[in-house]
Amino acid sequence: MIRLSELAPDVRASVQATRERVARLHAELPANGLVVWTAGNVSERVPGADLFAIKPSGVRYDELAADNMVVCTLDGEKIDDGTPAALTPSSDTAAHAYVYRHMEDVGGVVHTHSTYATAFASLHRPIPCVLTMMGDEFGGEVPVGPFAIIGDDSIGRGIVETLRDSRSPAVLMANHGPFTIGKDAQAAVKAAVMVEEVARTVAMAQLLGDPVPVAQGAIDSLYARYQNVYGQH
């Protein structure tokens, strides 16, 4: 078994920084109304190592800290990371690990059961691109992934299969809920916040009538500007 205490000093420092970021970013999930009780999780790839840090299973958000973020290999196996042996990683760890193994540009993964996005997932219905915000952030509709049962890497396979050729950083896993990816955990958390926001708006619009899709040319223009021009550089 890999022992954190035996890794090179620069790797240990990278692990610690990752654990601190992941612990801090978990607070964004309840703050944005994306989770209840102990549901949901954030993970981040450790820069410079084939490891990632993830939330421990079944631990309440107000009890999370850098020291109890679980460190795993890219096969989803917990290393000797200084936490108690009985502290197990999130039940979604296999899915996160599969994503990291098969999408090298992904540095962060988030899962929630946020209400409106999960409602679309329960219907196996993608969120149509009817908002300029969706063109910006998702580059089109938010797609639906296949139904998969937790416990092995089936969910991870569904995420990768759905998002590999998509501009969307979010997928609605059928009957389950949203998973989001990003270059790091902060980007994945942002996508989780945004997918719930657009799901809520589109659901309200559908109650009022038939939302009008954004034209594909406009979506492409919006996406290119938001990804390459918007913000500070």
Question: Which residues are known to be catalytic?
Answer: 136, 230
Pairing of strands 170-173, 177-182: antiparallel
Name the 3-class secondary structure at 52: strand
b or e along 193-230 (b: 16 or more beta carbons within 10 Å of the residue's beta carbon)?
bbbbbbbbbbbeeeeeeebeebeeeebeebbeebeeee
Name the 3-class secondary structure at 121: helix
Residue 170 belongs to what H/E stretch? Answer: strand 170-173
Distances in whole angstroms, Cα of residue 180 to Cα of each of 41, 230, 232: 11, 21, 23
Name the 3-class secondary structure at 70: strand
